Amino acid sequence: MEEVITIRDLFHAYHAGRTEINALVDVTLDVKKGEIFGFLGPNGAGKTTTIKLMLGILSPQRGELSIFGDVPSRTATRKKIGYMPETADYYQYLTPRELLRIYGDIFGIAGKLLSKRIDDLFEMVGLSGDAGRLMKTFSKGMKQKVSFAQALVNDPDLLILDEPTGGLDPVARKNMREVIKTLRGKGKTIFFSSHELSEVELVSDRVAILDKGHVLASGELSGFLSRKGEKQTLENYFLQIIEEKK
């Protein structure tokens, strides 16, 4: 199966004065076309650094990282990616419709096509009745829905989601899971980091667990949940493997 994300021996460090802090150490993983890949880890594990490298915001200091067989910083590569940040921090005096039009213009999407796509996306995320309201009146959950819609405005082949269910109520979480599964059915690849292990367990095909910059485990979710011949939850497995590596 075609690899959409390929990471080999990736290393990245930050400097705080004279101290070097290793954010990622020899990280190796791959994400295949058409799968949902859950990226897990406690705070400070290196998940956000990995995503920044995937988006071309940071450059690898050592190792290899490719998206669709090319470097992430290339414009042609970026056009294939949709990104939903952890915090939906948009200009509050725009409406969701105005925001998506700005993103659509950036991607060069034509007027009628963009208008229809925006309408379809707002219906998909449950914001059709609020598309004309200023976002300063929105709850955190509503802003998350706007952020999810903007990540899809360019009809990306790869969707990168950073804590996508934060602030969503149970119904909205269920709806997002259904949308993610629908996108997979259309051949899209979804990579998402999350602290919500139950959400990851419900949608992922494969997962990787990161801690202190190291990949502790990576593979099919079904294999993790039947470890040592016993059925268990992803949360239990996650806690066990973190504890074992201390």
Integer Cα distance of 111 and 231 in angstroms: 51
Output b/e per residue, 156-175; b: 16+ Cβ within 10 A. bbbbbbbbbbbbbeeebbeb
pLDDT at 135 over 80: yes
Residue 30 has what pLDDT?
96
Residue 228 has what pLDDT?
56
- Quote the percentage of the chain above a pLDDT of 90: 70
pLDDT at 36 over 70: yes
Q: What's the pLDDT band for 191 if we cut at 50, 70, 90?
A: very high
Residue 49 has what pLDDT?
94
pTM, to two decimals: 0.92
Integer Cα distance of 39 and 192 in angstroms: 6
Integer Cα distance of 232 and 246 in angstroms: 21
Residue 12 has what pLDDT?
95
Integer Cα distance of 28 and 8 in angstroms: 4
Structural domains in the chain, sorted by start: 1-79+206-246 (3.40.50.300)
pLDDT at 25 over 70: yes
Integer Cα distance of 60 and 135 in angstroms: 36
Of 114, 163, 122, 117, nearest to 145 by C-alpha is 122
Report the Cα 139 to chain-centroid distance in Å.
Answer: 21
What residues are paired with 218 via a beta bridge? 208
